[in-house]
Structure 1
């Protein structure tokens, strides 16, 4: 009889679009994970505001050796990471007056621009 080796097939990591809190994603090179909302002061879509506000997230970069390195991103601002920059490009859902967004409803999109 021959023994069959079984391997655990791991599902591929999602790309940097539509990433939830706690979800690891492959973003054009680095593997990152949003872990905590630090600030969401965006102007609600059904309100008039003087300031557009901002979103800041605590993130983790999972390096090739498995080490987890924390860093922070701000919506629309490139942040140095590895040999390039990562940008938090969008946050969903849009903020509305009259209710808070539940953490499990947030989705984020990231882009990485690698160095040479």
Structure 2
């Protein structure tokens, strides 16, 4: 029985590891959308040499379509960024560049647009990222 446990423990330790292949970004499994794809919350997307995963919308105060606003508002999305052997989580503001390590990452677009009197369900959001 001692030998069975000795074989299982190393295999169990490896099973919980995130995928990491040398210079490739860390990814927790599941498909990674192609660069330039609009993705939903929790869906990873390739962008340059990193993988970006929008995790949560923490603010969406954008002005609704067809209305006049004093302030345009903003969308802020918590995003996980995976690079070769590293991972960071940052709050990104739509339309602004965020410096992470050696990358300038832009949350380029948040869809759908807000409408007057309507909230957007978390599952309906789509995000487009760019790397400078």
TM-score range, shorter chain: 0.7 to 0.9
In terms of fraction of residues, the more helix-rich structure is: 2
Counterpart among 51, 62, 72 of residue 52 in structure 1: 72
SS in 2 for 1:52: coil
Match of 2:83 in 1: 63
The structure 1 segments of at least 4 consecutive aligned residues displaced by more than 4 Å after TM superposition are none
| 2:34 aligned with 1:18 | no
Match of 1:88 in 2: 107
**After superposition, what is the alpha-carbon deviation per residue over 1:33-79, rounded to whole angstroms, capped at 9, x for unaligned?**
000111000000021111100011111112323x4321111011100
- Mind listing any 5+ residue stretches in structure 2 that lack a counterpart? 1-29
Length-normalised TM-score, structure 1: 0.81
Computed over aligned residues only, the root mean square deviation of the Cα atoms, in angstroms, reads 1.6
Q: Go from structure 1 to structure 2 and tell me whether the alpha carbon gap of 1:11 and 1:24 turns closer, same or farther (over 3 Å shift).
A: closer
| Matches of 1:85 and 1:68, distance apart in 2 | 15
Larger Rg: 2
SS in 1 for 2:92: strand
SS in 1 for 2:99: strand
| 2:52 aligned with 1:38 | no
- Mind listing any 5+ residue stretches in structure 1 that lack a counterpart? 1-9
The number of residue pairs the alignment matches comes to 103
Match of 1:107 in 2: 126
